Amino acid sequence: MKTLLTLALGSFVAAAAAQHAHAPAPTPYAGQEQRAIKSLSEAEVRDLLSGQGMGLAKAAELNGYPGPAHVLEHADALGLSQRQREATRELMERHKARARDLGRELLAAEQRLDRAFATRKIDTASLAELSAEIGRRQAELRQEHLRTHLEQTALLDERQVRHYAVLRGYTGGAQHPHGGHR
């Protein structure tokens, strides 16, 4: 009886292993073929349409150039004057509008690339053109986010920039834009 049970269990395991060996292995892209723009997640599309930062300004943020969203978040702790608050709000509004416009342009370029592949109407020349356009749009969007940090930093004094770094949890302190610490 024990031998029969062992044989049955062994047969079951062997059959399951054989079935698994013939089943296609899931890929990291499985399910993404259903996306409206295959190369972008729904969250990425939402972020582009709403003007979110998406980490595009890390080079500025992590090197001591504050961004307006977090400056406004910490306005009281930073001791912003009324003029600084108003200027930061205006900067944020201009930036968000521009980032949303650039995000829509980037999405349109990504849609054109996706459509070219989906319709099989792509060749090396159109690929080069579409890829270059996407690269330009990405660069413009990143520049917008980084430029906003430059403008925001110019609205603050050195003490506020240093305190911002502390409030944001950057333990090394803010770097001075021209080298060294502030």
- Per domain, the residue ranges of the chain are 38-167
pLDDT at 35: 83
pLDDT at 99: 98
Amino acid identity for residue 173 in this structure: G
pLDDT at 182: 38
Phi-psi region of 67 (alpha: psi -120 to 50; beta: other; left: phi over 0): beta
pLDDT at 171: 73
Top-level class of domain 38-167: mainly alpha
Phi-psi region of 180 (alpha: psi -120 to 50; beta: other; left: phi over 0): left
